[in-house]
Structures are given as C-alpha cells and as structure tokens.
Amino acid sequence: MRLPKLFDVVALLKDIPLKDLQLADERYTFDTGLPVGTVGTVVELIPQHAQSSAYLIEFADSQGSAYAFAALPAESLLLLHYTPSEAMSAQP
C-alpha cells in the first residue's frame, strides 16, 4: 500500500476530535470533530524526525470552500482511488 502524496484524496479511518482541527470558515460550526469516512485532500507533507510522516489534510464542502484542516499520520487515512491501480499502471 502506498503512502499518500500531495493532492491525493483520502478518507478518515478514525474520528478526529474538535481539539485536533483548525477551523477555516466561521460559517461552519462543530459540536464534535469529524467522523470516520470524512473525505479530504492532502495539501502538505509534514516531515517528522521519526520514520512516519504527517499530512496536512484540507476538508472542503461541495463548493470547494475549505472548512477545516488537520495534521494527521498516515495510519489515520485511507487513500481513495478513482480508477483501479491496474488501469493507472497501463497508461503511457
């Protein structure tokens, strides 16, 4: 399984509590954090001293407006694919 890259689309594998989110739009209010399955985009790779890295994930609404950001480890993310990996490797 490959690690996420910049601009990859990911889904949360575990709930993210409100205290771990940076809210970006005051129009959105949260009583809790984001639930499992919420979809976001990798917008920054955050190198760490350990072997694993963290990823800055942007969560946006259907209009593309960001409403929250979170720095998360790869273990918290499921990489989403829009085409099968076999099809991707067959492209020139």
Q: What is the pLDDT of residues 14-62, one digit of tens each?
A: 999 999 999 998 888 778 899 999 999 999 998 876 666 899 999 999 9
Tokens of 92: 């020139």
Q: The domain containing residue 66 runs over which residues?
A: 9-90
Residue 84 lies in a domain: yes
On whether residue 34 sits in a domain, the answer given is yes
- 2 belongs to a structural domain: no
d(CA 28, CA 49): 34
Report the candidate in 53, 49, 43 with the shortest Cα–Cα distance to residue 74: 53
Number of structural domains found in the chain: 1
Residue 41: inside a domain: yes
Q: Let me know if residue 1 belongs to a domain.
A: no
Residue 67 lies in a domain: yes
Q: Report if residue 4 sits inside a domain.
A: no
Report if residue 20 sits inside a domain: yes
CA separation for the pair 22, 72 (Å, rounded): 12
CB atoms within 10 A of CB 24: 15
pLDDT tens for 59-87 read 999 999 999 999 999 999 999 987 766 55
